[in-house]
Structure 1
Amino acid sequence: MVTRRTVLKSAAALGLFTVAGCAPQGSKASNAPAKPAASIDVAKAGTVTLTMLDWWSGDAAQWVSNAVKAYQQKYPNVTIKRTTVDWGQLTQTANLRLKEKNPPDIITVNNGWQSLGTLAKAGLVLNLDGYSQAFGWDRFPSTILRQTQFTPDGKTMGGGSLFAAPVASSSLIGLYYNKAVLDRIGAAVPTDLASFEDACAKAKAAGVVPIGYGSQDKGSSTAVILALQDLFGDQNKINDFVYSTGSVKAAEIGLMEAAQRQKSYQDKGWFTPNHPGIQYADAVDAFLKGKSAFRFEYTGTLAFKGAQEKDYGYLQLPQASGGKIVGTGASTAVAIGSKSAHPDIAASFLDFLAGPQTAQYVVDNGLLPLLHDVKAPTDKPEFATEIAGQRSLDKDNGYVPYFDWSTPTMLDTLGGQVQMLLASRSTPDDVVKAVQADYDKFQAGR
């Protein structure tokens, strides 16, 4: 499940390129790889209309609109007709939409078992391995590509074939800080876990809330524990657990240490008082009004305005041991419907969505680019720190997927356990056991 992250590469050979070949048409499509053929000049492919069904809204809708216009300018013979619907609605109806008489050529899909995994197994979206090789999509971090890979039988996530492509935009979980508050309490911007905790102690001593938090909503209450898990868990083991290899246990992925740390923060009074009764929007508003020194949050959800750009910053803390940058992050996944009459053109547009020109549109609209060096706004220093955090993950290939992808019910399970942990109704060991039980139940059902 994606919560608030949707708020959340060079373009190879877009001119002369053929990536013809698609899954057989009909009620039962194939999930065998689409096979690129000899070159086709997209500009000479004749009049082509692509339909795209997506959930992009707000700032994201604008960069997508810019990308569509730019692609159509480059190829006046191609028209892209967008239809935008609510994220939840599209996620729940994607399989039906792709079975319609006139299904979309291009569709945004949710990562994980319930959405992309189901669509891939049913042959409703194209196997993109051929396009990946043709367009050079191995330029993406392997930890990003893995997020949209499934075996054609649908039994394994995070390996096998590529069934959706990332775009030149991403969303992360990291640590936001208020520089004005840190200056007031005599603390420096943290560089690691120890200096972060030292700053929290100074904030508490000065009568300032160290970590802005609202845990009333199960989904958003997990941001802290997931960010902390990234500091303690082995990257490969977190990946293998989420991708359900079955070889890794919940006790081996940094979850215990993260739960212990979060409980210790609660015991020290580092969270916003009465946070169990604080809604997500109110917690965000309080942080933006300078009520706390720090906040763990998804990128793209805090609307900094005016002077706030100078007062706030963002960082990806390095792991507690070894110093590697590991963080939760993903890009929106975009797939090609298996009944598309123009899969080659659709694939070239997916490549454009992943390219440097689109990355600049992403940045121009205040969202994080994926992979490309872009021209960052000089009047938005906070945003520059988010881009720096993004690049640190790119450099270390340090992405791990959103933990709730591990099972269809994991977000609810983990969120509920965090709430009980902070209410002293469960222990870190109980958190780990509940996560393992959820995981085992899902594995047994597969």
Structure 2
Amino acid sequence: MSRCQDIEKGFTDPAVGRRARAFRPHDALEGETVNAPARWLAGGGAALVLTIAACGTPGSSSEDDGPARVEGEEITAPVTADEVAELGDVTLRVLADAGEESTLTELIPEYEELYPNVTVEVEYRSYDDIVRTEANTLSGGDPPDLAQGAQGYALDGALVEAGLIRPLDDLAEAYEWFDRYGESTLGEFRWSDDGTRFGTGSIYGISPVVSMVGVYYNKAKLDALGLELPHTFADFEAALATAQAAGEQPIMFGNALKSTGLHIFGVVQGQNVDPAVTRDWISGTDGATFDTPENVATATTIQEWAQQGYFGEGYNGLAEDDAVARFAAGEGVFLIGGTWQMAAIQAGGGDFGFFPMPPGESGLHVASGSLGMGWHVSTESEVVPAAAAFIGLITSDEWAQKLADLGRVPVLAQQIDASEPLFADAVAGSGTILADGGNTYSFDWATGTMMASMGGALQELMDGRLTPQEFVTPIQDDWAAFQAER
């Protein structure tokens, strides 16, 4: 039942064509093909509230553009089983990131028990494949009802511009997202109706989880080195030097697909740059620039770490997942990575911890971070109540604990048992970053080609092929060209 027949073909719909040329952030991976087969599968911690109220998106109000008109059925209250039953026997088709498989394996049987007239079929794709192919899939003749997107101009902006996903302002009201999530938390899913303005307008997606970058550490190695947890960025750099002097690899790092380098840049940049300034640049605020002394200083630090051997050898040819597996097996003292990698690290069976990068001159805990990949409803869906019920379940307070049990950090919940030590660290660390307003989104949201341009430039910077100034200039050029186009 694959609906991936035209995955690798160019768009033919003029409404999609212009954006399609700009929405492939991994174009720099020359010769790479989509190799994840389509799989349609039949459905078969500590009290905390994590919100992002401290870090509003520029213009994160719907007042500027007003909510887009909802085509078709409007949801005015939480959907009931009787309302879903009125659809008759139907299939809810879902396109999800491969990382969601463990979550949906738990959720789908519960959903189908609550709504027995609905059969859920889900196709999993890698994140890279979602970014590459989803607009084509949703513009095809048989689109899924629900699809996970990727915030920023590269994908979500393309989906909104082409009219492929439905605004969810009605669901936001019906399921009380504004009260439960906070207005500013939802800003990363707001778009103008033409998809050219990020952070303002209608809400087009929602996610129940937080994705935050921090520092994993091997507790046994830290103890053997006689090191305490670093409290400042200077402490962290001193720990790297100590680890290397003792013959350990300070940072386990794999950057073959380039995205990991952006994570490194984000946590180092946060020592020098106000996170609001970074969010403004990523969001496309007029007058923002990447070509600053602070970003040159950040690039200088990263280049020095590479020259000093803190990342080991061959990191630009090592896949991120392989680096995580090596760290979980006991190689390296630290790993700078995301909360989404926690389960893979736990699987190694070692004793690991997690902390937000300690503050530098900014005085703030800063990292690339956001809500998880958003859930979108296709404008072509004929089972909107069933799709709304699915989103309502996965974002419910009751399901927050189940997400926690799966090792995922919920956005908010009143009673979360975070007793597992590494998970408790991730919850606390994410909360610290959010409390400081330190989440800076993701650099690849900034333009349709930023992953390729910034990721490639970081590889060259770390290899010594670019100076720090030569690194920042083309990134700003990419941003400026994109802003001029949109």
What is the TM-score when the length of structure 1 is the normalising length? Answer: 0.83
Partner Cα separation in structure 2 for residue 189 and residue 118 of structure 1: 43
| Cα RMSD for the two superposed structures | 3.0
CA distance in 1, matches of 2:221, 2:352: 9
Verify: 1:125 aligned to 2:165, yes or no: yes
Offset at residue 236 of structure 1 (A): 1.6
**TM-aligned CA deviation for residue 118 of structure 1:** 1.8
Distance in 2 between the 1:307 and 1:156 partners?
Answer: 43
1:29-178 correspondence to structure 2 within 5 Å: 31-33=68-70, 36=74, 42-45=80-83, 46-48=85-87, 49=90, 51-57=92-98, 60-76=100-116, 78-87=117-126, 88-138=128-178, 139-140=180-181, 142=183, 144-166=185-207, 168-178=208-218
Instruction: Confirm or deny that 1:340 pairs with 2:377.
Output: no
For residues 276 and 394 of structure 1, do their structure 2 counterparts lie closer, same or farther at Cα, with a shift above 3 Å needed? closer
Please tell me whether the aligned partners of residues 63 and 362 of structure 1 are also in contact (alpha carbons under 8 angstroms): yes
- Comparing 270-279 with 146-155, which one deviates more in the overlay? 270-279
Distance in structure 2 (CA, Å) of the matches to 1:394 and 1:69? 33
Q: Deviations over 1:13-35 (max 9, x none)?
A: xxxxxxxxxxxxxxxxx952468
Specify the SS of the correspondent of 1:313.
strand
- Alpha carbons of 1:41 and 1:348: their partners in 2 closer, same or farther (altered >3 Å)? closer
The DSSP-based 3-state class of the residue aligned with 2:469 is: helix
Partner SS, residue 413 of structure 2: coil
Once the two structures are TM-superposed, the CA of residue 40 in structure 1 deviates from its matched residue by 7.5
Counterpart in the other structure of 1:184: 224
TM superposition shift of 1:147: 1.8
**Aligned amino acid, residue 96 of structure 2:** W
Q: In 2 relative to 1, CA 187–345 (structure 1 residues): closer, same or farther, beyond 3 Å? A: same
CA contact (8 A) 1:218 1:416 kept: yes
* Aligned position for 1:272: 312
1:199 aligns with 2:236: no
Shift of residue 44, structure 1, vs aligned partner: 2.5
State the aligned residue count: 417
Residue type matched to 2:82 in 1?
Answer: K
How far apart are 1:375 and its partner, in Å?
Answer: 4.1
- State the Cα distance separating 1:68 from its structure 2 match: 2.8
Letter matched to residue 357 of structure 1: E
Residue in structure 1 matched with residue 288 of structure 2 by the alignment: 248
CA 316–75 in structure 1, closer or farther in 2 if over 3 Å, else same: same
Note closer, same or farther for the CA distance 1:214–1:335 as it changes in structure 2 (3 Å cut).
Answer: closer
Cα gap change, 1:281 to 1:154, in 2 (>3 Å): closer
- Percent identical residues: 26
Say which of 275, 287, 296 aligns to 2:327.
287
Per the alignment, do residues 186 and 247 of structure 1 end up closer, same or farther by CA in structure 2, a change over 3 Å counting?
same
Q: Which whole-Å CA distance do the structure 2 matches of 1:333 and 1:40 have between them?
A: 19
Q: Does 1:326 align with 2:366?
A: yes
Q: Which runs of 5+ in 1 are unaligned?
A: 4-8, 11-29
1:309-346 CA-partner distances (Å, limit 9, x unpaired): 4x211111244235333322231111111233343443
Preserved CA contact (<8 Å) 2:457 2:471: yes
Rounded Cα–Cα distance in structure 1 between residues aligned with 2:471 and 2:431:
32
Amino acid at match of 2:80: V
Does the CA contact (< 8 Å) of 1:327 and 1:393 recur in 2? yes
Equivalent AA in structure 2 for residue 197 of structure 1: E
**Residue pair 1:225, 1:262 contacting (<8 A) in 2 also:** yes
Cα 1:427–1:342 change in 2 (3 A) is same
Distance change >3 Å, CA 233–CA 339, structure 1 → 2 = same
SS across alignment from 1:231: coil
1:365 maps to 406
Answer yes or no: is 1:420 the counterpart of 2:481: no
1:230 to 261, 270, 275: 270
SS in 1 for 2:271: helix
Which amino acid in structure 1 is aligned with residue 160 of structure 2? A
Output one character per residue of 1:52-97: Cα deviation in whole Å (capped at 9) or x when no partner.
3222435x31322322333343444x51422213234444443444
- In structure 2, the residue corresponding to 1:238 is in which secondary structure? helix
- Partner AA of 1:43 in structure 2: A
The AA in structure 2 aligned to 1:201 is: A
Give the structure 2 partner of residue 23 of structure 1. Answer: none
**Counterparts of 1:298 and 1:133, CA distance in 2:** 31
Mapped partners of 1:306, 1:283: distance in 2: 14
Preserved contact between residue 211 and residue 272 of structure 1 (Cα < 8 Å): yes
| Partner in structure 2 of residue 25 of structure 1 | none
- Please say if residues 240 and 247 of structure 1, whose CA atoms lie closer than 8 Å, have aligned partners that are also in contact: no
Aligned to 2:253: 213
Alpha carbons 1:175, 1:317 under 8 Å: kept: yes
Whole-Å separation in 2 of the counterparts to 1:171 and 1:250: 24
Q: Deviations over 1:399-429 (max 9, x none)?
A: 2211011112111211222222222221111
Write the deviation string for residues 109-154 of structure 1: whole angstroms up to 9, x where unpaired: 2222232212212222111223213322123255542222110122
Cα pair distance change 1:422/1:105, threshold 3 Å: closer
Code of the aligned partner of 2:69: A
For residue 155 of structure 1, report the CA deviation from its aligned partner: 1.7
CA distance in 2, matches of 1:143, 1:227: 22
Q: Which amino acid aligns with 2:336?
A: F
Residues 262 and 443, structure 2, Cα contact 8 Å, conserved in 1: no
Structure 2 counterpart of 1:313: 353
Matches of 2:76 and 2:262, distance apart in 1 = 49
Contact 2:409 2:427 in 1 (8 A): yes
Instruction: Specify the SS of the correspondent of 1:173.
Output: strand
